[in-house]
Amino acid sequence: MIRHVVAWKLAAEDEEGKVAAAAAIQAALAPLPGIIPEIKSFSIGPNVAYVDTNWDICLVADYDDLDGLETYQVHPEHLAAVEIIEPLVSMRANVDFEL
C-alpha cells in the first residue's frame, strides 16, 4: 500500500483568503474518491494548529500500489482539480511512502 501525502502553503495572505482557498481545494479534490477507484482512502483538511509554522492544508490518500497512484496522478478529473489548485498555492510538499 502507498500513502500519498501532499501539503500546501496557500498564496493568500489574509485569513479570509486562506479559508476560501482551502475550501476551493477541498471542493476540487473531495469528489475524486467516488470517481477514481484506485483511491482506497482519502482525507483532506485545513490546518487547525500552529498557523505560523504549519502548512495550510493537507491531503492524505492511500493506493494499493504505485500503479494505482500513477493512475490517479494522470486521471483527467485529478488534472482538472490541479488546474484549480495551482493558482491558489505558493508552495507544495509531497511524500509518497509504503505502508
> What CATH number is associated with residue 33?
3.30.70.100
Q: Mean pLDDT, the chain, as a whole number?
A: 97
Which of these, 19, 12, 32, lies nearest to 87 by C-alpha position?
12
Confidence of residue 91 (pLDDT cuts 50, 70, 90): very high
Give the number of domains in the chain. Answer: 1
**What residues make up the domain containing 48?**
2-98
Q: Collapsing DSSP states into helix, strand and coil, what is residue 62?
A: strand
Confidence of residue 13 (pLDDT cuts 50, 70, 90): very high
> DSSP assignment of 3-51, as one string?
EEEEEEEES--SHHHHHHHHHHHHHHHTTHHHH-TT--EEEEEE--S-T
